[in-house]
Structures are given as structure tokens and as C-alpha cells.
A and B are shown apart, each in its own frame.
Chain A
Amino acid sequence: MKSALTFEAVAKCSTTKARTALLTLPHGPVNLPVFMPVGTQGTLKGMTPKQVEDQNCQIMLNNTYHLGLKPGQELLDKVGGTHKFQNWNRNILTDSGGFQMVSLLKLAEITEQGVQFASPHDGSLMMLTPEHSMSLQNSIGSDIMMQLDDVISSLTTGPRVEEAMWRSIRWLDRCIEAHQRPHDQNLFAIIQGGLDPELRRKCVDEMVKRDTPGYAIGGLSGGEEKDQFWRIVSLCTDLLPKNKPIYCMGVGYAEDLVVCVALGVHMFDCVFPTRTARFGNALTMKGTLSLKSGRFAEDYQPIEEGCSCLACTKYTRSYIHLLTTKDTVGCHLISLHNVAFQLRLMGEIRAAIEKDEFPQWIQQFFAGYFKEKAKYPPWAVNALRSVGVDLLA
């Protein structure tokens, strides 16, 4: 199908499957691999678009379900899309809206027609179809839009998994058909197939035939064993074309990002960094600091030495401790830091891949983040071993 992006490979790690690339979308370049912070309702938690831009963020997420509900499609059409509405001139990715319906709303049920749900307004029965999801995302005007897929729990087994896989393929066809703006909005397919490698293979086969501008690995991060998670991710990156971006949805913990990049994934998103900031948790290369804790009352160091964000260059842990969970400024400062941390982490990863020093960088990251080898998550050790990096050596 038509594509509104270009994908240029930049560097490849000679050990792992990690790759850097330059993705060019309608609202500018994105250096891959990338972490995309989540601005659910058309705003990244308390930050002004200027602050987000100043952090060199090139792409963020908006959620279709939330924007559909508030401010609603009619208004989005009136204002001419969410970039204009929120004054964000860089890239936006939106999900299909289906996931939130299944997770947030009562009576959500999937039929061949679409996702059936009870209106959050008056409880009346409604239906989100692939066509409607496309229409909403066309109104939003996101640079990358996701197909509506048949979301099932990653713990589901039996014929329902295969049904969801085939249905997601049929829905992809309906999405492609309904998509009104393929010249300036990129539709990504979502690979389904649960934890079954055969189904994943079939799904990749079928979806690659549709030749969408990019692919997401769906149906994971739903409580499955991490050892199963990474195997499916790795299988998909092996099967998917090398000249298109690969997106792993809902992944955002630092160690998960490092492993998934090594497995060949390019794009990630997660609400975790900004959500955890609201509870006073600051992310660092040496692990998380819970700044609510009284032990920071007289700690006059920055959150993280060497971080160039506002919170770290201008404020102490002690002062942020005073504000955190009480004043929005405390929350803003930690959010700024956590987003900066995620972007810095990805920047370091890209630099290491480009110098072909990624395996060494991984070793050093794990040593700093977990401190002792006994604390390395076994699944991460396994996953990295599968791509030639032995963390325990």
C-alpha cells in the first residue's frame, strides 16, 4: 500500500540484531530506535509542547479512544487535527482505540463487525469498527495510525488465538480500504498470533503481503512470561522485512527497551515514565529513586549526575522531595526528567550501535542498573544470549 514515510538504515550491530535507522515521517525525522512518550489526551502530562520539543522528542503518542471522547471527532475536524489543536509540530502516533475499550469499558465484546462496547456516556450499546477507527484517526491526523486489531489477553489459549489472528488480518484489509489519507498518514499493521510461533509466522506472511508502511508486534505485555515474550518478539523481527520500522507496543522499562532493541525492534511507547513520575519516582541509569522517601530530605545532589534536564541541572533531590506528590511543579520536574531519561537511554543505545559497541554498552548498562549479576532478570540474560551477548560471562 501507499506509504508516507521513508526508512533509511543507518547502522547495524555486528553482534546483536540491533539496528539504527532514520525514519522520516510527515512531521519530520525520527531517529530509530526511539521511545515515544504518551500524551494520552493531546498533552504530555503537564509539559508544554515547547518543553517537549526542547528535549528533542521527535514523536509522541496520543490515544484515539481518549481524543474521540474528549474533545470528540467533530471538534478535531473543525480544528484540523491534533497537531494544530495542541501546537505540536512534530510527529504523532495514535493507537486504534480498541485496546482502551476492552480494558476500560464494561461489556466490551468483539464480534466480526468490530468492538462492541457500552457507551461511557449513557451505557447504550455501540460498535467500534475498523472503518470507524480509521475515520477517527484520519480526523486526528496522526503521522502513524494503527489498525484496529482483535485484542485478546496474551494468556488466552486455544482456537480463540487463531480466530483473533485471522480476524486481525481481515480487519487490516478493512482498515486499508477505509483509510482516507494514505498519502500523509501511515497505517501500521499489528502482528497477532499469541504465543504460538506458527500463528505468528502465518500472520506475518499475510500482513507483509499487504505491504503496510510499518509493523507492530501486538498481543504481548499482557502478563505472559517474559521468556515467552522475548521469544515472540525475536521471532517477529526475524520474519519481518528489514526495510520497515518495527514497533513493540506498551514496552517502556529500561531493561525491556535494551533487550528489545538487541532483538531488532525500532519503536516503543509506554505511560510508565510519566505515570510513575506522578508518584514521585525518578528513573536513573542506576535504578529508580522514590523521591517521596524521607532519606532525600537533605540530599542536595541532582536526581542524576550528568543528566541535562531542567530538574537535574537546576534542582536538588531535596527540593523535589519537598514538592513531590504535593505540588504539580514537583510532578512536572520528575516527568521532565523521566522523559529526558528515556530519550537519553535511547540516544546512548543508538550511539553505541553506531560505534558498533552495543554489546559492551549493554554489559555496562546492566552492571549499573542492577548492580549485581545475581539481580539480572533471567529472561533478559536468556534473550541477550540468543543474540550473542552473555551477560553472565
Chain B
Amino acid sequence: MTSPFFTLHSEAGSLLRRGTINFAKREGRVSSLPTPNFLAHTVRGSVPHLTSDNLELVPVDSLQISAEHFYEQKEPAGLSYPHGLHSYLNANKYLLFLDTRDPSKHVPSSANTEKYLSVNTHGGVRQITPELWCRMISQYKPDFYAVIADVLSDTEPGNKRVRKSVDRTIRWLDECLEKTKNLDIPVFATLVGSQFEQERIRSAQEAAQRKVSGFVVSGLGFGNQALDLIKISLNELPEDKPRITYGFSSPESVLEAVSSGIDLFDSAYVSKMTDKGRALTFEFGNEEGEAADNHGSKEPKSINLWDPSFADDFTPLKKGCKCYSCITPHSRGYIHHLLNAHEMLGLVLLMSHNLYQYANFFESIRQSIDGKTFEASKNRFMENYSHEVEGDGAQGHEDEVDANSLGVPIKKKRTLLL
């Protein structure tokens, strides 16, 4: 007997969910994904800075692949490759989720039309038609994917345009479902509707009526309203199908969205923290760790490795962390030196650590839901940690150089000028 695509372990009616997504068994690949979980952010199919041997040292099960990264030339990269995307990316171990756009950035794109979705790539604006999308799916063979959708990037589109976007998205969904029905790959529908409640409801209801395996609902571009808007959509969805969201990858927003019934997240936060030269140090659900000398002051969630005060700190990024960087152990001082010297290894080590920590964070979330301590841990997390913006360490950084150690100063003879 084959297990259903999604198994929900929590009580019916509970917004806070624990589940398992089940995939077809494939040699060497995980076949189930416990939720809540995240899809590791990739650029052109690779986690930024990590070659596959380094990624293997991180407990990651699933990768988010953005098709726009592959469509820089006239023909999408690897489309003629006969062995599928897993092999092309050397990602056979991982569950691949394919969607069109990169969830780590919200940039306005060129207009979509009845016939195609526009994506902005390094190679210029490209058009993805439902035909091309289905061809990509059948060649790439991801483990699950989202159908192209007329997602609007303008902040406040008009009612008429949003209505059209809902209609078009449903039409594209029907078209793709029909074209890919023989592939046996789970299909996710993207929900649209922008800021209009009625349109959001219509989009969710229409999608929920289709033969889809799950839903994508993006919060990108809606600022503070995002969670409220997403909740409108979630309200219309059946409980027994998983929901992916974009734009909620910071720890605080993950916790909020988990409370609201989201199952899968993007990991843009990890990529961003790494680019800022920061290492994640926060913990979730670990009383001992959090109780440590918290005398009213809020603990930061991450440390800035550009900070010169780390130059002679020879301890690992985070005490007790089992990531490659911390067990070697590469020291904060060394990583600070790598950043200061503009060496690529700094970002390799930070990414490897941050992704490891992020995977731990989700593991702790799942444990806390299982142990019914999620709400308490969440409250403690919100109370103990600082929620201020984690700044970019490179900003305002001036390279530290120790010119004095290069040689000895030459004393100039002083002549008295009269």
C-alpha cells in the first residue's frame, strides 16, 4: 500500500501542524520530509558557496530550485540533458522542489501576459509559457513542483489586474495539470489574489478544487500585512495538503507562520545572513542555552564575523555546534581573517554553519510541537532574543591591516628648518 502524499500527525483543526510528506522511493534519496521544514535556497541549483561534498556535511533533505536561474540563454540549461535535474546538479540525495522565481528576492519583473510568465535573468527577460514549463518539468523531473502563476510584483495592483491574475493562474494550473498528468510528479498550486480578500479566497478555493498535492502562498512584497493576507488564503485550504510559503524565513516569522499552519519555508534568511558575514547562534527550545545570563538584556540571534573584536577569538562559531566548521574547529578569528582578507572560504564556512543551525532550528521546532512545548518555547524565544535587524557586517568595514609587522619603520633624519 502506498502512503498518502501528506500525513498529518497533529489533531484535526489545530493550526499548529506536524506532518510528513511522502515521496516515491528512489535509490539514495530520502523519501519522506518531516514538517515543519525548509527548502534550502539555491542559486543555479547549488546552495551558495557549497560544493556538493560540503553540502553533504549539512543535514539538509530538500532543495528549492528556481527555474529562472536556468533560463539565461535561449534554451534553459540542462534541458537536453537526458538524466534529469538531480543528476545534472549532483543532487541525487535531495528532494528537489522546482518553482519559477527565486524566493530570496522580491524584484519587480516585466509584465506577464496571457501567453507567458516573464522572468528577469542574467541573460535578460525570458518568457516561460505553460508549454515550456511542462517541458522543463518532464525533462528535469523534480520531486515536486509549483505550476507557473501570474504573481504580481507591484505593491498595490488594481482590482481588475488582480482578478485577471487569479483567472490566468487557474487557467495555467489546469493547462499544466493536463499536460503533466502522466508524469506522476506531485503538483503544487500557487495562490494569488494580492491584497484583495475576495480574490485571495477565490484563488484558494479554485485551486483547492483541483487535483493538486499542495499549495504555495507567497508573502513576498506585502510587508507587515503578509501574514494576515496569507491567513486568508490558508483558511480556504484543505487540512490534508502541505503548504509552502515564501518570505517568512527569519526565525521570528518562521515561528509565526508555523503557528498559522505553514509546513514548508524558504531559507533566504540563511543566504542573507551568510552574505552579511554573520553566524547564527540562537537556539530554540533549549532551556539551558537560553537561560544563560539573560539579565534583562536581549541576546542577539547571530554574531557579526566582520567585527574586529573576533580577530583573536579562537573559539568556534558556536559552542557545541556539530557543523563542519565548528568541529574542525575553525575559529571565529580565522573566519574573521578570511572575511577581512576577502577570501571565499569565509563564506563557505559561514554558509555551512548557518545551514546546519537552520536545520537544527527546524528539528527543534518539530520536537517542540511533538512535545507540546512549542508555544512556551516560542514565547521564550521572543522574550530572550533581540528582534532588531541583523546588520550587514561588511558595511562600514575598513580592512584591518597590520602594516607594522611587515618591517621596521625607517626613522627619517630631522633637519631643523630655519
Contact = CB atoms under 8 A, between A and B. Distances in A.
B408 A126 contact: yes
Given A71-B402, A329-B51, A125 B410 contact: yes
Interface residues of A, number: 63
B399 A70 contact: yes
Contacts of A229: none
A71 B311 contact: yes
A300 B49 contact: no
B77 interface: yes
Contacts of B337: 41-42, 70-71, 75, 85
Contacts, number: 175
A45 B409 contact: no
Given A125-B410, A310-B53, A328-B49, A319 B328 contact: no
Contacts of B331: 79, 85
Interface stretch (A116-124, A196-204, A211-219): A116-124
Nearest to B91: A314
A332 interface: yes
B412 to A, nearest CB: 7
Which applies to chain B's interface (DSSP): helix, strand, loop or mixed? loop
A310 B52 contact: yes
Contacts of A43: 338, 341, 343, 345
B89 interface: yes
* Residue of B46, B52, B337, B405 ringed by the most chain A CB atoms within 10 A: B405
CB-based closest 4 A-B pairs? A72-B402, A121-B403, A73-B405, A46-B344
A27 interface: no
Interface string A53-84: 00000000000011011111111001100000
Interface string B275-304: 000000000000000000000000000000
B50 interface: yes
Interface string B325-336: 000111101100
B406 A68 contact: yes
A328 B334 contact: no
Interface stretch (A127-135, A171-179, A252-260): A127-135
A75 B345 contact: no
Of listed B43, B88, B403, B406, residue having the most chain A CB within 10 A? B406
Contacts of A328: 48-49, 344, 347-348
A99 to B, nearest CB: 13
A375 interface: no
Contacts of B89: 319
Given A121-B403, A126-B410, 20 more contacts: A50-B324, A65-B406, A69-B405, A70-B340, A70-B402, A71-B337, A71-B340, A72-B402, A79-B314, A85-B331, A117-B407, A125-B412, A132-B407, A297-B75, A316-B81, A318-B88, A319-B88, A322-B78, A328-B48, A332-B344
Nearest to A322: B77
A79 B44 CA distance: 38
B45 interface: yes
